[in-house]
Amino acid sequence: MTHASLVVLLLCLIGCGGGGGQSESTPTSFAGADNDAAGGQNQDETGSGETGADESWSLERVTPETVGLDSAQIDQLFSHIYTDSAVQSATLVKDGMIIGERFAEGVSADTIGTSWSVAKSFYGAAIGVAIDQNWITGADQKVSDFITEWRGSNKEDVTVGQLLEMRAGIPDRSGLFLARDQTAFAIGTDKTAAAGVRFVYSNPTSQLFEPLLQRSAGLDAHAFLRQEILSPIGIDVNRIGMWLDPTGAQPLTYMGLDMRPEDFARFGVLMARGGLWEDEQILSSAFVAQSLSAKSPFYGYQWWQLNAAYFGQPVPVTVSAALGLDGQAIYVWPEADLVLVILTKYQHSRNQGYVLSETNFPDTCTGRGRCPPGAETVERYDQFELIRLLSELN
């Protein structure tokens, strides 16, 4: 990847608020209303299951009819998703079973995709586990109890909950992505607004989960996430990639998880089912409820709430979403026990490693048509129509 392409990527990170939101025009700042591609390979019918739908955690592949849906409905959903020719994979889970999946040419269920800002939702959940385990006393605890560099500054009273809500008063800073020590950059980012008042989408805010986990629980953020969330929900951590900043030592917590579609879906199922996995409460149901409810008009604890405020018009159903740059998404609809994972075409070899640099970074911009400079951008599917189609599956 050329330096010019990296500049294009950086500009899009700035313009897109780091990857969250429905499009580049989605607001990245909002005062709190309450104070707290045609084609692809279709595999919709890939076997049958005997496990009761409401008891399954297997993510086995079954027909839509197994859970009382019509294959034609699923085909319609995937056809809409693949109006976006940059989509690499789409995976639909209902009642703990995969009822449909579709892949771009040359892609399979084992092909790795990347998260971009979808990772924020994972590391937000890791903070929830740290609270559950009393490494952090609660969302009201001051961040400066751990990030002592903030003591005596205007950031001293910022709380953990305000970080999770993106209402810490810490702005987005484009220099984060190119900084060598990205944790130091995040810690040093100035607070420019009152905390607890206004939602401002901010990558430095989410990178603060890295020192918060390290200094509270005593494990680096990647190790904590693997141990407390990924492994317990059946993700093979030897098959995933977890990105580091250019120092090669600081885990990234605002971006940078590489996994199979099914792995992303497992996390979605965990959230859809209130933090429960089989007979183990991985994450407290109370924290999940806070994550998937709006603290500002359309954002919870590191999860977007795709409601009327988000779209600017009435919605048939409110779905929660982890959203990332170039079209990465986990859609979660708990009431329907439904999860949809969409990943964008991704270019990266594991042999390159996972240390971020000007020549090594998660390349979805090629698939999206934003690089090399001058390429024709591939337009995304209509997200409101996607939600309408999902609403018909319950």
pLDDT digits (tens, 9 = 90+) for 123-181: 999 999 999 999 999 999 999 999 999 999 999 999 999 999 999 999 998 899 999 99
Q: Which domain holds residue 290?
A: 3-391
Tokens of 179: 């900084």
Q: How confident is the model at residue 9 (pLDDT cuts 50, 70, 90)?
A: low
Q: How far apart are CA 243 and CA 256, in angstroms?
A: 5
C-alpha 115 chain-centroid distance? 6
Res 52: pLDDT: 38
Block residue for tokens 């698939």: 367
Q: How far apart are CA 347 and CA 369, in angstroms?
A: 13
Q: How far apart are CA 329 and CA 92, in angstroms?
A: 12
Q: Nearest 10 degrees: CA dihedral of 154, 163, 145, 150?
A: -30
Q: How far apart are the first and last CA of the chain?
A: 44
Least confident range of 27-31, 103-107, 309-313: 27-31
| Domains identified in the chain, total number | 1
Secondary structure E strands in 273-349:
276-277, 280-281, 304-306, 319-324, 328-333, 338-344
pLDDT at 33 over 50: no
CATH number for the domain that contains residue 168: 3.40.710.10
How much is the pTM? 0.90
Cβ(163)–Cβ(207) below 8 Å:
no
pLDDT at 48 over 80: no
Tokens of 222: 């990647």
Q: What is the DSSP letter of 378?
A: P
Res 173: pLDDT: 86
Helices 71-81 and 383-391: crossing angle in degrees, nearest 10, is 170
- Residue 331 burial by Cβ neighbours in a 10 Å radius (0-12, 13-18, 19+): buried
Res 8: pLDDT: 53
Mean pLDDT across the stretch 42-60?
54
Tokens of 382: 């209509």
Contacts of 365 (CB under 8 A, 6+ apart): 5, 8, 9, 12, 326, 371
Res 80: pLDDT: 98
Question: Using alpha carbons only, how large is the chain's radius of gyration in Å?
Answer: 20
DSSP three-state, residue 391? helix
What residues are paired with 90 via a beta bridge? 102, 342
pLDDT at 207 over 90: yes
Tokens of 294: 């709006």
Q: How confident is the model at residue 343 (pLDDT cuts 50, 70, 90)?
A: very high
Block residue for tokens 């030592």: 249
Contacts of 315 (CB under 8 A, 6+ apart): 306, 307, 308, 384, 387
How do residues 258-317 score in pLDDT, each as one tens digit?
Answer: 999 999 999 999 999 999 999 999 999 999 999 999 999 999 999 999 999 999 999 999
Contacts of 218 (CB under 8 A, 6+ apart): 135
- Residue 247 burial by Cβ neighbours in a 10 Å radius (0-12, 13-18, 19+): middle
Q: What is the DSSP letter of 46?
A: -
Mean pLDDT across the stretch 346-362?
96
Res 94: pLDDT: 98
